[in-house]
Amino acid sequence: MMHSNSSLRLVIPEMSTVSTIDTSGVSFFKELMRTMEKKGVELVLVNLVGEVMEKLQRSNEADDFMKPDCLFLTVGEAVATLSAKIKGQSSNDV
C-alpha cells in the first residue's frame, strides 16, 4: 500500500440520509474505497440503511471492498474504534 505525506487518515461518511443507491453509486463507492486505500486513507461507512446496505453487500461477491471492519452503526463508534487502531499502529512504528 502506498502512503502519501498527507495527514488525512480516515474518511467517515454518515450515510443515514442515503435511502437508495443504484449501480453507479455502488461503482462509485468501490472506486472511492480503492482510491483511498492506495493513498493510505481508510474509508468507513456509518449508519447504512436497508436497501443501501443490501445492494453494497450483494455487489461485494469477492469480499474485495465491503469488509466488516469498514461498517459502523454510529460515527462515535467508528471514531473510537479507528482512533484506537491508529494509536496502536503509531506505537508499533516507534
Select the more confidently predicted residue: 66 or 8.
8
What's the topology of domain 10-88?
Transcription Regulator spoIIAA (3.30.750)
- Taking the C-alpha atoms of residue 70 and residue 48, their distance in angstroms, rounded to an integer, is 11
pTM: predicted TM-score of the whole model, two decimal places: 0.74
- In which region does residue 18 sit, left (phi positive, over 0), alpha (psi from -120 to 50) or beta (all else)? beta
pLDDT digits (tens, 9 = 90+) for 59-90: 877 666 677 788 899 999 999 998 888 777 76
CB 14 within 8 A of CB 44: no
Q: What is residue 63's predicted lDDT score, i.e. its pLDDT?
A: 64
pLDDT digits (tens, 9 = 90+) for 18-45: 999 999 999 998 899 889 989 989 899 9
Whether 1 has a pLDDT exceeding 50, the answer reads: no
Domain boundaries, the chain: 10-88
